[in-house]
């Protein structure tokens, strides 16, 4: 009895807390489409006086979906219901539609906004002032509706509106590394959201909410399966399942793409070869593509990982990447499909420097691919490290479309236990100057087709989505999905603007929350670089799981999977010499970039050990020796997580208790992981430097052997029976 009473009392306390703090329980499922009810009466009155809306003529499924979204948003935020009458058009009325759907109103839309752009403006329609949301196409209208709702979600004025926006990139695509058994390669948020077994019969509400979330930020494509593809995805049984997904996504302007296995003609078709120049192979692909389009008339195309990490590809048959990509492109061209051919290649011959391989293999093929092929290039030349310089292929293939590939899932960023807002990482790469067409040739200009208007453009993000209630595992990991969409729409946006919008839409408009938490977000990636891989270190994490530190790894399957291959620590110093006295990877960059990074005096600290092998006693800009500087970075990185925790603690009561507690606990894990990274790396590198850790710092809690011996079981994201490793 007493226990029951106690239980009830604590439940009541929680309820009270929720009521008093004016924030309700929230599991994060709604992402940034929370549409929380406005509670500030002044704001409510402000918007209610401005807005009335009508049921607009929704002549297509997409317009109907836009209508439904608007109703949900206005009802949830302002309890605003649509007007019954359809005649009123006054300054409070929202008028929504395309020139065709609003035929009687004689609306015009300038061609310059393109097929996916939109206008939101206060204007005269039928001689009456109103708010018009319009576009050339239905999907443009939907983007306009989402952006209008964003104005309310972020409490902006709706007076005198004059907004015109359009995407700078055509293909804005999420890449799911989801396997058909529902495991997700490098996925840290549960299983795959595609419930293959129940498809096509059962349409999970998640598919619809996934599509809404994507459309709200302008994502218009989804590669639904792992780049390490299973040939089965092209079998009729799976095409039926994909068709069911495509039917949902279509309403929200999202096309489906699949990753294909290059040897599918053999594995699925029973042919003897998958040689791309073999007529029977060409025919098999052409027939298969026709079959796919008979199920999904607006199918997007293929993503291909070929001749990399054991995957088959044209080189398996003595042919080139061009032969392989063009053969698939020819099959897709009659249907306007595209091939996204990945440049992340490294084969069994271990190169002198893995960072050089993609450039060496692809650069000679500039201008040789069909115009519906786009080469998908990771942001950096190794593999989604916490920090990498931009990939040297950007700008180096002026006659070939290059598509950016970012990784949203935090394979090398602490999985979904670490708060790492990736927008600063994206921006760092996008705003890097390649100098390939003179000063100002930023990666952003290259991938938006700024130097060659004829090329198709794209950006891909490796998804961080799974069946976890909050989709991404960490409440703040949702911000990386959101930021990706925003950058794919406009790569020149600022990380701060995106964080601001996301926080307001996802949590609250309380500036006492938004401003300190935005600061945390903007600093978080640098903090993580500091406690994991400061000063240009890279690839020193646990072998195969990629979780936690593993700078000692020297016995992986091949040399370039070992941490020691990358940091090259010895008694003299540390770092990978990529200057002309080393691997000369720097020669792949333009002279201005190469010159800057090659010279120790100008090379930024951030890239120092990426490009140079430097003495432990080398005097850094700060005046510290390299050793002391390295130690300083590791300690300040871990310290910054403590600071982040202190800030978050103060947010109690400003957000719902559920998400507050979840973030709080995850920060506890992040701190212990940051301390582990710090202590393991400092102790390990000390075995080479033989220099002391300055006495201002606390001593590591354990000896090096303790960290080396740590074991982790069933680490997520690697699948199979690969259950344990450090
Ligand atoms: C690496 C991942 C691996 C992926 C590969 C890729 O460790 O799981 O298959 O990239 O991008 O980062 O193909």
- DSSP one-letter string for 192-244: -S--TTTTTT---HHHHHHHHHHHHHT--EEE-S-SS--GGGGSHHHHHHHHH
- Percentage above 90 pLDDT, the chain: 85
Which one is predicted more confidently, 51 or 99?
Answer: 99
Distances (CA, A) of 710 to 553, 684, 714: 13, 14, 14
Q: Which atom of ligand 1 lies nearest, measured to the CA of 462? A: 11
Q: Which atom of ligand 1 lies nearest, measured to the CA of 308? A: 13
Helix, strand and coil content of the chain, in percent to the nearest 5, comes to: 45, 10, 45
For position 92, what pLDDT does the model report?
64
Q: Is 544 in the pocket of ligand 1 (CB under 6 A)?
A: no
Three-class DSSP category at 619: strand
pLDDT band of residue 7 (cuts 50, 70, 90) is: very low
Find the 471 Cα to ligand 1 centroid distance in Å: 21
Which one is predicted more confidently, 685 or 556?
Answer: 685
Q: Is 344 in the pocket of ligand 1 (CB under 6 A)?
A: yes
pLDDT (mean) for 246-260: 98
In this predicted model, what pLDDT tens digit does every residue of 626-680 receive, in sequence order? 999 999 999 999 999 999 999 999 999 999 999 999 999 999 999 999 999 999 9
- Out of 407, 411, 716, mutate this one to test ligand 1's pocket (max ligand atoms within 8 Å of CB): namely 411
Three-class DSSP category at 175: strand
Q: Which atom of ligand 1 lies nearest, measured to the CA of 226? A: 9
Output the residue whose Cα is nearest ligand 1's atom 2: 186
Using an 8 Å Cβ cutoff, are 167 and 140 in contact? Answer: no
In this predicted model, what pLDDT tens digit does every residue of 388-417 receive, in sequence order? 999 999 999 999 999 999 999 999 999 999
Q: Which atom of ligand 1 lies nearest, measured to the CA of 186? A: 8
- Out of 185, 260, 379, 385, mutate this one to test ligand 1's pocket (max ligand atoms within 8 Å of CB): namely 185
pLDDT band of residue 54 (cuts 50, 70, 90) is: low
Phi, psi of 598 (to 5 degrees): -75, -30
pLDDT (mean) for 317-336: 98
Nearest alpha carbon to residue 636 among 588, 698, 680:
698
d(CA 437, CA 429): 17
Active site residue 323: no
CATH number at 529-576+613-725: 3.90.1330.10
Q: Is 507 in the pocket of ligand 1 (CB under 6 A)?
A: no
For position 554, what pLDDT does the model report?
95
What CATH class does 41-165 carry?
A: alpha beta
d(CA 51, CA 131): 9
d(CA 418, CA 310): 31
Q: Which atom of ligand 1 lies nearest, measured to the CA of 384? A: 12
d(CA 264, CA 331): 14
The residue extents of the domains of the chain are: 41-165, 171-506, 529-576+613-725
Output the residue whose Cα is nearest ligand 1's atom 9: 228
pLDDT (mean) for 249-277: 98
Catalytic residue among 361, 411, 433, 598: 411
pLDDT (mean) for 72-77: 95
In this predicted model, what pLDDT tens digit does every residue of 426-482 receive, in sequence order? 999 999 999 999 999 999 999 999 999 999 999 999 999 999 999 999 999 999 999
Three-class DSSP category at 74: helix
For position 557, what pLDDT does the model report?
81
Active site residue 605: no
Answer yes or no: pTM beyond 0.85: yes
376: part of which helix (H) or strand (E)? strand 373-378
Catalytic residue among 291, 309, 649, 701: 309
Q: Is 539 in the pocket of ligand 1 (CB under 6 A)?
A: no
Q: Is 305 in the pocket of ligand 1 (CB under 6 A)?
A: yes
pLDDT (mean) for 98-122: 93
CATH 3.20.20.80 fits 171-506, yes or no: yes
pLDDT (mean) for 172-195: 98
Q: Provide the pairing of β-strand 402-407 with 373-378.
A: parallel
Active site residue 291: no
pLDDT band of residue 86 (cuts 50, 70, 90) is: low
pLDDT band of residue 24 (cuts 50, 70, 90) is: low
């Amino acid at each position: 009895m007493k226990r029951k009473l106690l239980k009830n009392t604590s439940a009541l306390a929680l309820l009270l807390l929720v009521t008093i703090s004016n924030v309700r329980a929230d599991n994060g499922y709604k992402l940034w489409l929370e549409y929380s009810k406005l509670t500030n009466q002044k704001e409510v009155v402000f918007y209610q006086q401005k807005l009335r809306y009508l049921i607009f003529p929704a002549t297509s499924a997409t317009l109907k979906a836009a209508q439904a979204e608007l109703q949900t948003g206005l009802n949830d935020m302002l309890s605003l219901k649509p007007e019954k009458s359809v005649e009123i058009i006054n300054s409070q009325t929202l008028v929504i539609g395309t020139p065709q759907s609003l035929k009687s109103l004689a609306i015009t839309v300038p061609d310059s906004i393109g097929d996916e752009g939109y206008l939101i403006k206060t204007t005269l329609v039928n001689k009456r002032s109103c708010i018009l949301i319009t576009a050339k196409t239905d999907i443009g209208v939907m983007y306009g509706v989402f952006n209008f709702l964003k104005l309310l979600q972020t409490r902006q004025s709706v007076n005198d509106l004059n907004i015109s926006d359009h995407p700078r990139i055509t293909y804005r695509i999420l890449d799911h590394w989801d396997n058909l058994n529902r495991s997700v390669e490098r996925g840290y948020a549960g299983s795959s959201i595609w419930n293959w077994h129940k498809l096509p019969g059962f349409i999970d509400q998640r598919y619809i909410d996934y599509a809404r979330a994507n459309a709200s930020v302008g994502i218009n494509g989804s590669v639904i399966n792992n780049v390490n593809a299973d040939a089965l995805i092209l079998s009729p049984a799976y095409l039926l399942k994909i068709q069911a997904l495509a039917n949902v996504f279509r309403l929200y302007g999202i096309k489906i793409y699949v990753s294909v296995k290059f040897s599918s003609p053999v594995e699925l078709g029973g042919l003897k070869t998958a040689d791309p120049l073999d007529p029977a192979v060409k025919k098999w692909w052409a027939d298969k593509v026709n079959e796919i389009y008979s199920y999904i008339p607006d199918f997007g195309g293929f993503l291909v990982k070929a001749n990399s990490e054991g995957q088959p590809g044209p080189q398996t048959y003595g042919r080139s990447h061009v032969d392989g990509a063009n053969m698939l492109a020819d099959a897709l061209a009659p249907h306007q499909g595209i091939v996204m051919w990945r440049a992340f290649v490294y084969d069994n011959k271990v190169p002198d420097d893995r960072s050089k391989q993609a450039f060496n293999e692809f650069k000679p093929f500039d201008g040789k691919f069909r115009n519906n092929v786009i080469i998908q290039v990771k942001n950096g030349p190794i593999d989604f490290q916490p920090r990498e310089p931009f990939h040297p292929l950007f700008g180096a293939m002026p006659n070939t479309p290059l598509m950016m590939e970012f990784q949203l899932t935090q394979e090398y960023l602490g999985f979904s236990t670490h708060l790492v807002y990736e927008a600063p990482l994206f921006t760092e790469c996008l705003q890097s100057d390649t100098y390939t067409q003179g000063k100002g040739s930023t990666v952003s200009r290259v991938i938006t087709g700024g130097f060659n208007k004829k090329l198709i453009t794209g950006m891909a993000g490796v998804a961080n989505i799974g069946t976890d209630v909050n989709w991404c595992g960490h409440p703040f990991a949702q911000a990386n999905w959101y930021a990706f969409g925003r950058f794919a729409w406009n790569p020149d946006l600022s990380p701060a603007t995106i964080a601001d919008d996301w926080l307001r839409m996802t949590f609250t408009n309380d500036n006492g929350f938004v401003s300190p938490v935005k600061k945390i977000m903007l600093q978080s990636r640098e903090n993580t670089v500091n406690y994991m891989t400061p000063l240009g270190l890279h690839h020193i994490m646990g072998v195969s799981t990629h979780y936690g530190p593993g700078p000692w790894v020297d016995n992986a399957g091949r040399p370039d999977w070992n941490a020691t291959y990358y940091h090259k620590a010895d008694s003299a110093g540390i770092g990978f010499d990529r200057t002309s006295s080393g691997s000369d990877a720097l020669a792949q960059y333009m002279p201005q970039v190469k010159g800057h990074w090659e010279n120790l005096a100008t090379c930024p600290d951030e890239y120092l050990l990426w490009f140079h092998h430097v003495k432990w006693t080398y005097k850094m800009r700060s005046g510290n020796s390299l050793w002391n500087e390295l130690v300083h970075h590791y300690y300040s990185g871990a310290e910054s997580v403590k600071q982040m925790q202190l800030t978050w603690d103060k947010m109690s009561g400003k957000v719902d208790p559920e998400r507050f507690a979840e973030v709080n606990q995850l920060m506890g894990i992040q701190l212990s992981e940051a301390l582990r990274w710090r202590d393991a790396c400092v102790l390990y590198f000390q075995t080479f430097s033989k220099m002391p850790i300055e006495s201002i710092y606390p001593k590591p809690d354990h000896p090096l052997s303790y960290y080396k011996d740590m074991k982790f079981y069933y680490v997520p994201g690697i699948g199979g029976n690969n259950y344990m490793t450090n």
